[in-house]
């Protein structure tokens, strides 16, 4: 990896900005004092790996071009020779310094140097980006204070405050998980601890995992409720379209011909329904029609069998249900 000075030499000038991870090392004051003489340091967007995708992709690209580095450390002389050989191989395998046809013979390095933006024109954008990425992030739950009180109470009650002397674990939990999950997690943790099933020096890790699992379960229950609510709305919307279709079909079918046979027409809709809800609707209507007319089931089966435009699976499934209704072996 290139050092800061080597990067400047490669670009021909110091970069205007440096996008970096949110690791603690990048908060070091000495690092900022050294780098920000010429280059603005900008933290990457939190929890968005794609923010640095182009930069991270460079490592994989280098690995593809150069491959594994092999050094022979059997002796000092062998190590020197292998190191020189690998440096030459890596340099020749790389593509940044080589002339490219698409750049009229210029290398990527030359193009990059000439493509560096005008410092004055881009400065305002860089400063705004730095301000946006550096301001405190308000991504904690509004229940943080209540959650923290629960955690403080639980840690004190179970005598595990010493495992979190600075409160960092409790703070991390309080901004991410709701009071209900924390309350449940503490209760589960307490019963396990009372049974002597937890090692004291690892207890806090178990508690974190339990609270996470409780939150996932709470979220899943809420998601299930929302799914049911939205599914009911969708179900009613489909029925609003299907019920008039059935009434129209009944009015059209007088039984004077196979084309106007209500049983046949409903069975066709059951086979060709593109959605499960549509198929279920027409199957229920067909079942109601045939409930007291089981002698008609054989004819309907034959009609369904000859619906060659439908798939074999759809025809087979409906015929299977018809026969089950005929012999009353299906509800």
User: For residue range 255-292, what is the model confidence (pLDDT) as tens digits?
Assistant: 999 899 999 999 999 999 877 888 889 999 999 999 98
Mean pLDDT of 8-29: 74
In angstroms, how far is the first alpha carbon of the chain from the final one?
Answer: 70
pLDDT over 90, % of the chain: 43
Q: pTM above 0.85?
A: no
Range with the poorest average pLDDT among 102-111, 118-127, 254-263, 288-297: 118-127
Residue 81 is predicted with a pLDDT of: 92
Overall average pLDDT of the 238-247 stretch: 87
Per the structure block, which two tokens stand in for 27? 């908060």
Q: Cα 27 from chain centroid?
A: 29
User: What is each CA distance from 10 to 4, 36, 112, in whole angstroms?
Assistant: 10, 18, 9
The whole-angstrom separation of Cα 241 and Cα 250 is: 15
Average pLDDT for 4-27: 73
- For residues 272 and 278, give the distance between their C-alpha atoms in angstroms, rounded to a whole number: 9
Please determine, for residue 1, whether its predicted confidence score (pLDDT) is greater than 50: no
Q: How far apart are CA 221 and CA 242, in angstroms?
A: 31
Residue pLDDT, tens place only, 19-63: 777 776 777 788 888 888 888 888 877 656 566 656 666 667 677
pLDDT of residue 19: 79
Please provide the DSSP assignment of 225-268 as one string. Answer: HHHHHHHHHHHHHHHHHHHHHHHHHHHH--SSSGGG-HHHHHHH
Mean pLDDT of 71-84: 92
In this prediction, residue 117 carries a pLDDT of: 64
Contact present, 200 and 160 (Cβ < 8 Å): yes
150-178: pLDDT as tens digits: 999 999 999 889 889 999 999 999 999 99
């Amino acid at each position: 990896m290139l050092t800061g000075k080597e990067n400047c030499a490669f670009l021909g000038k110091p970069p205007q900005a440096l996008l970096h991870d949110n690791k603690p090392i990048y908060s070091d004051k000495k690092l900022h004092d050294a780098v920000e003489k010429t280059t603005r340091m900008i933290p990457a967007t939190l929890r968005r790996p794609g923010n640095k995708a182009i930069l991270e992709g460079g490592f994989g690209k280098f690995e593809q071009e150069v491959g594994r580095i092999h050094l022979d450390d059997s002796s000092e002389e062998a190590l020197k020779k292998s190191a020189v050989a690998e440096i030459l191989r890596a340099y020749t395998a790389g593509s940044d310094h080589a002339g490219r046809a698409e750049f009229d013979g210029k290398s990527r390095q030359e193009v990059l140097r000439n493509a560096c933006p005008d410092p004055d024109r881009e400065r305002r954008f860089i400063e705004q980006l730095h301000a946006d990425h550096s301001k405190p992030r308000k991504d904690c739950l509004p229940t943080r204070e209540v959650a923290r009180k629960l955690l403080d109470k639980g840690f004190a009650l179970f005598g595990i405050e010493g495992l979190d002397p600075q409160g960092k674990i409790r703070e991390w939990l309080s901004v991410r998980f709701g009071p209900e999950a924390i309350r449940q997690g503490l209760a589960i943790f307490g019963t396990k601890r009372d049974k002597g099933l937890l090692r004291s020096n690892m207890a806090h890790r178990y508690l974190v995992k339990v609270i996470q699992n409780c939150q996932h379960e709470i979220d899943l229950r809420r998601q299930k409720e929302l799914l049911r609510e939205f599914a009911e709305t969708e179900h009613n919307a489909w029925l609003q379209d299907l019920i008039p279709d059935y009434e129209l079909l009944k009015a059209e079918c007088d039984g004077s011909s196979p084309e106007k046979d209500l049983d046949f027409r409903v069975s066709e809709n059951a086979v060709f329904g593109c959605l499960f809800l549509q198929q279920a609707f027409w199957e229920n209507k067909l079942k109601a029609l045939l409930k007291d007319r089981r002698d008609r089931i054989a004819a309907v089966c034959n009609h369904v069998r000859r619906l060659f435009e439908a798939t074999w699976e759809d025809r087979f499934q409906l015929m299977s249900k018809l026969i089950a209704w005929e012999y009353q072996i299906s509800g």
